[in-house]
Structure 1
């Protein structure tokens, strides 16, 4: 006999003022750096609008069957806020304060593996919360140690389906109009795997340090060309 599970009753209400939000340290020591790198390249490429919001380890809230549920993904993207950014404090409640998240990401660690938890009872697992409560279109799981990336897309039935990467091992995120993939290299003294963005023309969205290096190289190339031109002019007998 199949037992049907009742659909949770969801209300989009902010946590009570006396609700204690978790203040635990992040599970993965690499989380802040990876999250910051994702955001920085979007900002520098002018891919963010004044109405959008990116959260890192910041509580996403909902009332589920009369109880406050808060999950804090390692990185999340909200396309449009419906109220001033400065009024969003302590946590973010979708539908009340703006759009549902378009993307949530979890960076895997050696802890309990709750990123895959479909537990429906209170407190619900992360997978269940993102899929069944928030119904986030894109759920990303990234293992910084192994460099593995899983991208799930919410199907028409409201369930996550594992997507297949393209030939470059990247995933197109329609809402952001960008590809997401894994890149190996060094940033801020951390050598390893990173998540990076590419545009529709396969151009990598650069970090600030990369843009500075390009500018420095362009200036050096210009100086070398100028020096070569001056040398040729002198060799031809022309005075500078």
Structure 2
């Protein structure tokens, strides 16, 4: 039986070169239709907060790159948030992100796992580089989130002493530094999908609403104001006061 030895991380040469323009990025399709919906549901409420979106890169299935021993490695997390990033000129198109070269280390990466999953938990460094190893040892992303939409299981890992350690929840939610928000699981319907979702809560425990929820909230507020105005008019009439048109 052959034994595969893993090169110690401390002896690896890790660098962050700009991605060459002729570098061919993998064009793998997303695993299922849930993944884009889950990522969009995380991004959409953040757009209502300029402080969270200004100079930020909030993307899904997008290449996160670095070089190991001079070989460029790219992984495409299902959700990535990084702020700040260097702005592009009007003629540039961002097709990947390399930390330290284009901005800071991402504050958070996420993977949405199906019932059968591949390399998300891999720590190998032989012919390939697993996502766990890449996020933890190469990029050193502070928070790595693993979510199973079919069961609602959420795992949050934070780097402590150079390794990912599982985090404990606070009333069912996890505090995410850098966004200064809580992340948790919500069950319900959105975008014609019913099931488990990841959602944000602010430091006061208030849920960050989707645009349709904000619109419904505004509709209800307007309806309450209309009813209040009608009651006031009726009260004035009962007192013999003719309200002005």
Gaps in structure 2 of 5+ consecutive residues:
none
Deviations 1:32-52 (A, max 9, x none): 111111111111133424222
Residues 137-184 of structure 1, C-alpha deviations (whole Å, 9 max, x = no match): 00000111111100000002x100001111x21001122111100011
Matched with 1:233 is 236
Contact map agreement 1:102 1:138 (CA 8 A) in 2: yes
Structure 2: distance between partners of 1:190 and 1:147: 14
Residue 39 of structure 2 is aligned with which of 29, 35, 39?
35
Would you say 1:16 and 2:24 are equivalent positions? Answer: no
Q: 1:186 to 1:209 in 2, by over 3 A?
A: same
The residue number in structure 1 matching 2:56 is: 52
> Which position in structure 2 is the counterpart of 1:5?
7
Distance 1:59 1:218, change over 3 A: same
Q: Distance in 1 between matches of 2:207 and 2:156?
A: 19
The TM-score, its normalising length taken from structure 2, stands at: 0.91
Give the 3-state SS of the residue equivalent to 1:116 in structure 2.
coil
- Residues 57, 73 of structure 1: 8 Å contact kept: yes
TM-score (norm 1): 0.92
* 1:204 equivalenced with 2:207 (yes/no): yes
Compared CA separation, residues 149 and 85, structure 1 to 2 (3 A): farther
What runs of 5+ residues in structure 1 fail to find an aligned partner?
none
Write the deviation string for residues 55-105 of structure 1: whole angstroms up to 9, x where unpaired: 210001111112111100011111111342754522111111111111000
**One of 138, 161, 168 as aligned partner of 2:143:** 138
